[in-house]
Amino acid sequence: MMTPQRVRVIICLSFDCRAEPAEVDSFKSTLLADPKVRHAVEVSGAYDFMAEAVLSSMSAYQDFVQSLSEPLAKLVTRHEESFICKRFVRHRVEDTAIWVPAPQGYKRVDTRDIDKVSAEGDYMRIYSRGDSWLVHATMRSLEHRLNPDHFIRLNRSVIVRLSFIDFFVHEGRRWLVQLCDGTCERVSRTHVAQVCSALRFTSSIRERASPKP
């Protein structure tokens, strides 16, 4: 048995200029409070108000319109419904590369190849595949360009790729991570819980009592 396809409809309304503003506002609020109404906007031009509703069937749509008959007759001079046949959504294209200074120009570094980012004054040092480059940027701006599923903030000054972490170390009262290049980075108290949560989903990470010598 086939499941009925949901009905999506755009409702366009022109309010009577003689209608009481309080009644119009009350009607808008009632409409927006209905869970079948996804969103609405006030507009200028041929109509004053437009709303998108999603209903389970044509019968449900007819019941919905019938429930609006009284306020429509009292407050609205013109209304029109248009059914949505197909939606077009523009997907965000991710910026997957950072350009770093290189001799006679700039070099492209894919964000997926970045191992670590560390702060050095007003600059950030980007590490990738054994090389590193200084770029003039903020930690926040670079963090926003890195996939949060693959990168984690350790402290105010360091971000690392999760798969670049070799060991997660509890040493005394401190937490450290040892990276695949043999270096260690401190995990600040405010980031320990976040790091622990992220590493639970990374089966390749190992934990031990102290760093390698």
**pLDDT tens column, 11-59:** 999 999 999 999 999 999 999 889 999 888 999 888 999 999 999 898 9
Based on the fold, state whether residues 76 and 123 are members of the same structural domain. Answer: no
Residue 157: closest CA among 202, 182, 190, 199? 190
Handedness of CA 10, 7, 30, 35 (dihedral sign): negative
Beta-carbon contacts of residue 210 (< 8 Å; ≥ 6 apart): 169, 171
Neighbours of 172 (CB within 10 A): 7
116-137 average pLDDT score? 95
Domain count across the chain: 2
Residue with tokens 């995990």: 187
CATH number at residue 73: 3.30.70.920
* Arithmetic mean of pLDDT over the chain: 87
pTM above 0.75, yes or no: no
Whether 73 and 139 share a structural domain: no
Secondary structure percentages of the chain, helix, strand, coil, to 5: 25, 40, 35
How many residues in total does the chain contain? 213
Same domain, 158 and 196: yes
- Report the relative pairing of strands 165-171 and 206-208 from DSSP bridges: parallel
pLDDT tens for residues 67-108? 999 999 999 999 999 998 887 776 655 568 999 998 889 999
Strands 37-42 and 131-135: unpaired
Q: 190 and 113, same structural domain?
A: yes
